[in-house]
Structure 1
Amino acid sequence: MKPTILILNDFSAPHRESLAQCFTVLGRDDIAGPAAEEGLYRIRAVVTDSGAGLSRDLLARLPALEIVTCSSAGYESVDVDALSKRGIAMTNASEALLDDVADTAMLLLLASWRSLVAAHRHVESGDWGRLGEFPLQRSLRGKRLGIVGMGRIGQHLIGRARAFGLEPAYFNRTERPEVGVPFQPDLTDLAAWADILLVIVAGGEGTRGMIDERVIRALGPTGTLVNVSRGSVVDEPALIAALRDGGLGAAALDVFRNEPHPDPALTSLPNVTLLPHMGSATVETRSAMAQIVLDNLDAHFGGGTLRSVVVEPPNRRQHARFS
């Protein structure tokens, strides 16, 4: 008998078909209503992402659950502590999106620093011909980049930053001497030192509002804030206020507090560069993210090695694929 898995997110059709060859696949509609309760007892794996999550209520109704596989890097909408206490494994897809997210961070950084959006409008509107040259911009070379978060993406950013002549330093919960970059244990001090502050940390309650008014104001009227992590990490009202009154020079954002409907008070500002949460949004990376889900389910039920582990069960049990 095939193991039963539950897919909560919009998993791609080709990869869903691949799962159906080895597993009994259920979706949200299959677990709706009281008649579906029996099916919940058969579910041994859940596929989800940061948007779909996995609620505490649903988790409590899955007594046979063994593994949760996220097809995203983020997992803040999954109760990791509850999984750990029950000995349920959890994986994400972080290893697949390192390059694309790091590239997107540099794209935003460069576009904001050199006023790409305003320069585009200067040409598009005809102002170049009517008003003359676009105002001179500042060179990136020799500027200071503060990286908030030194996980795998943060480490990927170091080489890219140095290639553009930036001087990097970082803030992290713990020091990482192996990365070969100066560590600053105080986030506000890092912001005061930096010309550009680039945020790449996990979402969730532990990082909510960590880029607060003090940090934003410390970055200063010539500073630029780049956020490719989660909108919840930045105090958005404080960010809007600082951008309006000149307390912060510019912001470049791929994420927002209220997606996909960001605050018009933010999006209407002239000193912002915005992307629609597309850091990992390439065909190649999204396919690789889905493939990690398939690989992890195959490894879990076949007794293999999991990839991108977030929660490792107390003992790596051996599972027959069709047990």
Structure 2
Amino acid sequence: MSVRTAIAASRRRIVLPRPHGPAQRWSLHAPTVPRAVLVVEVRRETEDAVTLVLHPEDGRPIPFRAGQYLTHCFEIDGQAQRRAYSISSAEGQPLACTIKALPDGRVSQHVLRAVRPGTRYSVIGPTGDFVLPDDTRAPLVLLAGGSGITPVISLAETALARDPQRAVRLVYVNRDPARAIFAERLRQLAARHPALQLVQHASAGGRPDAAQLRALLQPSAAAEHYLCGPQGLMDAAEAALRAAGVPAARIHRERFIPAPRPQPRPTTPQPITFTRSGRSVEQQPGESILDAGLRAGIALEYSCTVGGCGHCKVRVLDGTPLLNEPNCLSEAERNAGWTLACSACATGPLTIDA
């Protein structure tokens, strides 16, 4: 398919079939087979953020739920690199992901500089449970900080497309709201949907405190609350919500970067044995189990690299790895010896069933 043909196809509305019943539309477990995609459009959102409109090379749609992400697989300077970026389009719209370049982000800087219409690469997914509730009548309170707007706008647009009268309150925290990602798109969304309460908060003077967040969010025990942004902002918002009586089950968080790696970390190499591959490697200071394995050429499964999807889950047969909370493992999985290769590190000799 030519780029021009693919662009035309991407601009047509894609309606995906759904089973009957409430919003159990797609499995939250990511497909693990990479899908080749073609970049058909690159939209410059801000100086350091772009949206990539993607078309599957095989022509089959990639069904997704609002709020999910794709793992993008690039080859940069001869090395395979994977990063998780949120889907920023509403359900039923052409597949698009928005990436904000970090100053030291190897992959995000590559996307900003080198990815153009016609670029081909692969994606894995979609993945993630930062999705709309089954109860389509529940009010929504959405908090986005900076680039955290990327999955949040997908949630808001999808919810309002289903029910234009649904109560949605979206609080967007930015240093300069006038230069924020999707500033014009949000204004148009609010103009089309009077039920949407769009609140812009300038944080140039510092992050809003608990009292400010409570006033901005106007939490309700009956609403579903979604938080996406810097860790400190989400921590403060969750504390404000809990203090206001919002049940923990009605608070949903999404993060883009790994949780801080365990401290104190080993300062000397640690031996790791991978039983199935019959390989032993030395984990270097600062590396995760995944880092050490991939450096040694061991074929380990992984996807998001932030401890959020469980794709890199491995079982520890001997030894004790160090793994920070929060992560996506259940208590039962941890008790059974599972850990996340992308987030854990060896503190002594370790034997892994991989």
TM-score, normalised to structure 1's length? 0.33
Which structure carries more relative contact order (alpha carbon 8 Å, separation 6+)? Answer: 1
- Higher-Rg structure is 1
More strand, by proportion: 2
